[in-house]
Amino acid sequence: MEWLAQQLAPGLIYPTAGAILFALGLYGLIRRHHLVLRVLALNIMGSGVFMVLLGIAARGEGPPDPVAQALTLTGIVVAVSATAFALALVVRLARITGQAMMLPGPPDDDAPVDDISREEHAPSTEYERERRE
Partner 1 sequence: MSDLLLVVFDLVLLVGLLGVAWRCLASTDLFRAVVLFITFGLLLALAWVRLEAPDIALAEAAIGAGITGALLLVTLERLRSIAVERRRGRPDEPPDPAGADALLHALHDPPPPRRTFVPALTFALVVGGLMVTALWHQPDAVGLEPVVDEHMGVSGVDHPITAVLLNFRAYDTFLELAIVLIALLGAWSLGRYDRLPARPAPGPILPGTLRLLVPVAIVTGVYILWAGSHAPGGAFQAGAILGAAGILLVLARPRDLPMAPSTPLRLGLAAGVGLFLAIGIIGLFIGPGLLGYPPEWAYPLIIVIEVAATLSIALTLVALFIAGRPAGDDH
Read off the amino acid at residue 52: V
User: Any contact of residue 16 with partner 1 (CB under 8 A)?
Assistant: yes
Query: Per CB under 8 A, does 124 bind partner 1?
Result: yes
Q: Which of residues 51-110 bind partner 1 (CB under 8 A)?
A: 51-52, 54-60, 62-74, 76-85, 87-92, 94-95, 98, 100-101, 104
Total residues contacting partner 1 by CB under 8 A comes to 84
Of the pair 10, 106, the CB lying nearest partner 1 is at 10
116 secondary structure, DSSP code = G
Residue 109 C-beta: closest distance to partner 1, Å: 18
The neighbouring-strand residues paired with 101 are 34
The only residue of 20, 114, 123, 129 in contact with partner 1, by rule CB under 8 A? 20
Buried b (16+ CB within 10 A) or exposed e, 37-55: bbbbbbbbbbbbbbbbbbb
- Is residue 116 a contact point for partner 1 (CB under 8 A)? no
Q: Give the CB-side neighbour count of residue 51, counting CA atoms within 13 A.
A: 19
